[in-house]
Chains A and B, each alone.
Chain A
Amino acid sequence: MSAPYAKLPAWADYGLIPLINLAVAFLVAGLVVMLVGENPIRAAAILVEGALGRGQNIAYTLYYATSFIFTGLAVAVAFHCSLFNIGGEGQAYVGGLGVALVCLAFDSVLPWWLVFPLAIAGAALFGAAWAFIPAYFQAKRGSHIVITTIMFNFIAASLMVYLLVNVLKPAGSQAPQTRTFLEGGQLPKLNFVLEALGFSVRSAPFNLSFLLALLAAFLVWVLIWRTRLGYEIRMRGFSPKAARYAGVSETKIIIIAMLISGALAGMMALNPVMGDQNRLQMDFVTGAGFVGIAVALMGRSHPAGIVPAAILFGMLYQGGAELAFEMPNISRDMIVIIQGLVILFAGALENMFRPSVQALFASLSPQAAGVEARQGEGG
């Protein structure tokens, strides 16, 4: 059992602690930058400038954030059921197949706003289907979901390569990708919104699926905290024994939570496939499934935390790309290291500074700091 935690005011819990974690992550990242002989302050400036400097950059940042919101929500929903879904990557990849099939079938006959709902359904359905198999094995046979979802990431990758090369590639084409979707398979861009705010955006992939992501975040909040299903998911997440006592079928709730998680991961594919590239191509997920884990951890599995965390990681992606471009000694891999550090401090080591901050608060105002009771200790 853990030491009792003084309860922090919300602003410290959700604002101060993540900020401290971030600051430390950047400090360590700064050391790495110094090691390769660059000025860390200038690197930081380039990174922020690259993420937010101009309308163009902001649009890119938000484009990446869109993907991360979906995958972050996917991980969070499974977390609430105490399932660790590491398979967002594969689920998103297969979700892309759903999007592409819908677009290829309807892009010539329907306008985009009719294709869009079908594509959402396709993405969700395919993503959910890909999550179903590990979920089923976990629920029925107890095969650990972490292992099976990782395996399914690999299977998804192979499956998609096979399909792209042998089935979906137009005859005569060299590239392992589908044909480009027509108008009906292309989501409108949202760059005009930024322009309306006075930014100039030349061309950026920021598109309508961003709004869908925000809507999904709201709906996940409703699901988890305002529906019977969400109540049952949290019940099983906290206490499987109590859930069984309450009549929540373990098998059913595991499978449902994973289907929702997979559907959300699958919907991530809308953003790159229908919103940007307008075709299905190899490896379009580019790690967003894994970033989702960090986003969910940092956002404490709450949509209100996930959205800002996703934007932060969007900044790292976009700003990092600029940084790699501007500073010759900093390669793309270095950017991955910096992102990794943020994940490490903000996610995995989330509790590292918490006890000392709590001790500090407790010593500042002992009366105000209530105490979070430990699990299993009530009286």
Chain B
Amino acid sequence: MAHTAIELNGISKSFGAVHANRNIDLKITAGTIHGIIGENGAGKSTLMSILYGFYQADSGRIQVAGKPASIKTPSAAIALGIGMVHQHFMLVENFTVLENVMLGAEGEALLNTSIAKARDELERLERDYGLEVDPDALIEDLPVGLQQRVEILKALYRGADILILDEPTGVLTPAEADHLFRILRQLKEEGKTVILITHKLREIMAITDNVSVMRQGAMVATRKTAETTVEELAELMVGRHVLLRVEKGEGRAGDVMLSVKNLTVKDSRGVTMVDDVSFDVRAGEIVGIAGVAGNGQSQLLEAITGVRQAVSGTVTLDGTPVELTGEADPVDLRKRGMAHVPEDRHHVGLVLPFEENENAMLGYHWQDKYLKGPLLDIEAIRDDARRKIEKYDIRPADCRLKTANFSGGNQQKIVLAREMEQDPKVLIVGQPTRGVDVGAIEFIHRRLIDMRDQGKAVLLVSVELDEIRSLSDRILVMFAGRVVGERGPEATEGELGLLMAGVEKKEAAE
């Protein structure tokens, strides 16, 4: 009879007026994979943070392996064999992979001997689990997908017995996610326990043994995965019926609004990341760029939006060229009608210590409506933020709350609301639904289609194949910096998957 790895009894936690967790009971059997799902802001991350010692519960009890545990700090959690991969990475950007993995677990006083040991250990882990990352690469040079691997390696390196993964697949393609799941199954076989938070019900069905559903801070149901369905889970989560499939009419493509010609971009180490890429985006269409994370999509977005220098090529926005020296004025681009939802909302799209209303105008703060002479028009700024909060159902509906205190999905809505409400001609979107719950995805997808139907040109970069397929009018696949194929929305997942894996065009078409 399997014993209980973790048992929570009556856990409650409030942040001011927000009841993030209400009287939660949860039992997790050792050696299983246990899924936790729930809407954005349902309290999943909070609950896991309590388990990992970041937060203290206001009340309730925790038992680990049958023994009462008081987990006051993450180091206490680590000592109990609990490891966590966070929803938002906790890596030191200007450290190497190896340094990040070792950080806080250096062991000895002399760094160079422990570095050698750590390198061996890291390479062993990378081999055993197929998590290849160059140990000497700087984190800031790695695409999000690889940073994720580093986070997993970090937890494994600390010998976690119970591994908590908070939305680990948000940045992965299905193929990468499958890879991760193989690792998780392997861990399970070794008797480890995995807690998996995800918004993707398909993943829940594919890999978990049990699944618990949270809604508005409460635990509303726990099911054996084999005995439930996607529809039931979605309904339990949101409390209403959810459309899991986007409905959209035919697009009517107009003039070319964004044109990219022979664009080549290198990263800071001089490696070619975007290699001679050309494409057009027309008014009234959504062009999706699919690809495994790290194949140049991020650099492509940065070059088009003028923040990263391109080596050669041209980009035209509504007929006028975009400065490609990396010195482009983002304000000028915005004035010319380019809106941009960046892939990395935490470091780029938002200033986390700012109040929500300060982020609701980020990048547009020069607009007259926010200013009263030389001063900021605080009232106008807050009214504007409140309007967006209402229209995009951002929760909690408090424009004075620090942005860092919003849940991941709601932070994403803050960015989307800001960019979409500008009524741009061209909307460039990177990973719009990363970490966003099914209800909100439905909403965001609806909004993107609306933008298209209003005649906007939308360039969508996403590692979610489903998302690309259901939204795009045309799909470009990037592999190793090149566009290796263009397909219509009817392309099958298998066909795109092959292209994304770099299998030659001809073969893929057959």
Contact = CB atoms under 8 A, between A and B. Distances in A.
A166 interface: no
A379 B409 contact: yes
B298 interface: no
B351 A239 contact: yes
A367 B56 CA distance: 11
Contact of A244 (B40, B330, B404): B330
Interface of B: 14-16, 40, 45, 54-56, 58-59, 73-74, 86-90, 166-167, 307, 329-332, 334, 340, 342, 344, 346-354, 358, 362-363, 365-366, 370-371, 374-376, 378, 402-409, 411, 435
Interface residues of A, number: 32
Nearest to B403: A378
Interface string A292-318: 000000000000000000000000000
A245 B342 contact: yes
Contacts of B374: 227-228
6 contacts: A228-B374, A228-B376, A242-B349, A377-B86, A378-B88, A379-B166
Contacts of B330: 244-247
Contacts, number: 119
Taking each of A1, A245, A366, A367, which has the highest tally of chain B beta carbons within 10 Å of its own beta carbon?
A245
Contact of B347 (A3, A241, A371): A241
A188 B380 CA distance: 43
A238 interface: yes
A362 B57 CA distance: 10
A246 B333 CA distance: 11
A226 B166 CA distance: 38
The 7 closest A-B pairs by CB, nearest first: A379-B408, A247-B331, A247-B330, A373-B404, A246-B363, A366-B58, A379-B87
A376 interface: yes
A259 interface: no
Given A235-B362, A379-B411, A4 B352 contact: no
Nearest to A377: B88
Contacts of A227: 374-376
Contacts of B404: 373-375, 377-378
Contacts of A228: 365-366, 370-371, 374, 376
B334 A378 contact: no
Contacts of A235: 351, 354, 362
B332 to A, nearest CB: 8
Contacts of A366: 56, 58-59
Given A377-B90, A379-B407, A379-B435, A371 B351 contact: no
B363 A247 contact: yes
Nearest to B354: A238
Contacts of B307: 244-245
Interface string A217-230: 00000100011100
Contacts of A1: 90
Contacts of A238: 351-354
A222 B362 contact: no
A121 B461 CA distance: 52
A242 B404 CA distance: 14
Interface in A270-294: none
Contact of A4 (B55, B344, B408): B55
Given A228-B371, A228-B374, A376-B346, A242 B88 contact: no
